[in-house]
Amino acid sequence: MKDTTDPNRELFEYLKTCISYYEPNKVNKKKIKELFSCLPYFVSGEDQDILYPLLLRHPIDCYYDSEKGLRDYVYLLYRLYHREKNKPYLDHDTFYRTDKQRRERNHHIYFGLVVCLLIYYLYCLQ
């Protein structure tokens, strides 16, 4: 089930995707810090007024030593953003569970496509 209450759902989905491949090293820490510092410039004015103070009050430096730390950080931003907007938000497990379910569903779809292509290929060989 998609979180349709969030007008910036894509922003949080993007952040979840970015951090899923994160490996903490000197270069990546610098780049992820730059990414988060630029976030307010890519949202609407009202959301800028919410995100910018959140990022100032909660610097990423305390969280970017591990992927789990970044997961907690993204959820913290998500939760505080929704509190500021007085909108409902998902709990931590549900927020991240939807990604796992989507990946599992995509694997089933890809497997089905491969099977269909294999059957088609075998059919064409006859």
Range of the domain at 76: 9-90
**Over the stretch 21-40, which tens digit does the pLDDT of each residue have?**
888 999 999 999 999 998 88
- Per the structure, the count of domains in the chain is 2
Query: Cβ–Cβ contacts within 10 Å for residue 78, how many?
Result: 22
Please tell me whether residues 47 and 84 are part of one structural domain: yes
Is residue 1 a part of any domain in this protein? no
Kindly report the number of other CB atoms within 10 A of residue 11's CB atom: 19
In a domain, 53, yes or no: yes
Q: Categorise residue 91: left if φ over 0, alpha if ψ from -120 to 50, beta otherwise.
A: beta
* Residue 18 and residue 72 in one domain: yes
40 and 78 in a single domain? The answer is yes
* pTM for the whole structure: 0.71
Instruction: Let me know if residue 40 belongs to a domain.
Output: yes
Matching residue, tokens 């290929």:
121
* pLDDT tier, 1 (very low <50, low <70, confident <90, very high otherwise): very low
Q: Does residue 5 have a pLDDT over 50?
A: no
Of 119, 98, 27, whose CA–CA distance to 64 is shortest?
A: 27
* Residue 61 per-residue DSSP state: G
Domain identity same for 16 and 67 = yes
pLDDT in tens, 65-114: 998 999 999 999 999 999 998 988 888 888 887 656 666 777 778 888 88
Q: Is residue 2 part of a domain?
A: no
What are 93's two structure tokens? 């497990």
